[in-house]
Amino acid sequence: MFIEKSNIKPKRNCCIFCLKLQTQLPRHLKTVHRDKDKVKNSLFCLKIVKKRKKIIDILRKESNFTYDTKKTVNTGQLIVSRQLNAIFTRTAKNYIALKVYSLTSESFTYSKWLSLTEVTLTLIHVFNRRYKYLRACVLIFRKQRYFKNFTIFRSSSRNCTRF
């Protein structure tokens, strides 16, 4: 798995319907997939620019995530929302989609379930970080039988509470 640097060529996004890489995703959706319900409701009916941009952004993120996680479509390149600059030295292991991609390929064991919960909870944590008035809670399961005890870790404080 690899990630392209930002200065090589224009970023290509995956289409959610045909799973092909496109540089101009809204234009591709209007011309090729104009009969689909999601495209009809979003691109043709809405005159408000902000709502239209949000809907296109949601479609783009969904399709890029499916491209990153499907083995049949992906060629080894990750499509990330922000491309790497040449000075940063991040690898593909730093991104959540690669963790999900590697989890789907193997059989589920206890450690795989733990790492899958970690991935989903970090997604929840990242989503909740956008709201300043909410405290993001992340569940950390301990390696005990049948998950009898679990801990809630609050990101704003170092205190852990047990149930």
Q: Say whether both 19 and 78 belong to one domain.
A: yes
Q: Say whether both 80 and 19 belong to one domain.
A: yes
Q: Say whether both 82 and 132 belong to one domain.
A: no
Q: How confident is the model at residue 162 (pLDDT cuts 50, 70, 90)?
A: very low
Per-residue pLDDT tens over the stretch 45-68: 666 777 888 888 888 888 888 887
Q: Say whether both 78 and 114 belong to one domain.
A: no
- Both structure tokens of 52: 């239209």
pLDDT at 32: 92
Distance separating alpha carbons of residues 124 and 145, to the nearest angstrom: 25
What's the mean pLDDT when you consider all of the chain? 67
How many domains does the chain fold into?
2
Per-residue pLDDT tens over the stretch 74-102: 777 777 766 666 666 666 666 655 555 55
Task: List the end-to-end C-alpha distance of the chain, in Å, as a whole number.
Answer: 40
In a domain? residue 59: yes
Helix extents (H) in the chain = 25-32, 37-39, 49-69, 96-105, 110-128
DSSP state of 146: G
The residues facing 152 across adjacent strands are 139, 161
Q: Say whether both 61 and 123 belong to one domain.
A: no
* CA 33 to chain CA mean position, Å: 23
Residue 78 lies in domain = 13-90
Distance separating alpha carbons of residues 11 and 110, to the nearest angstrom: 38
In a domain? residue 103: no
Distance separating alpha carbons of residues 8 and 26, to the nearest angstrom: 22
Question: Which carries the bigger pLDDT value, residue 29 or residue 45?
Answer: 29
Distance separating alpha carbons of residues 40 and 43, to the nearest angstrom: 6
Distance separating alpha carbons of residues 138 and 78, to the nearest angstrom: 26
CB atoms near residue 127 (< 10 Å): 11
- Both structure tokens of 90: 């991040």
pTM over 0.75: no
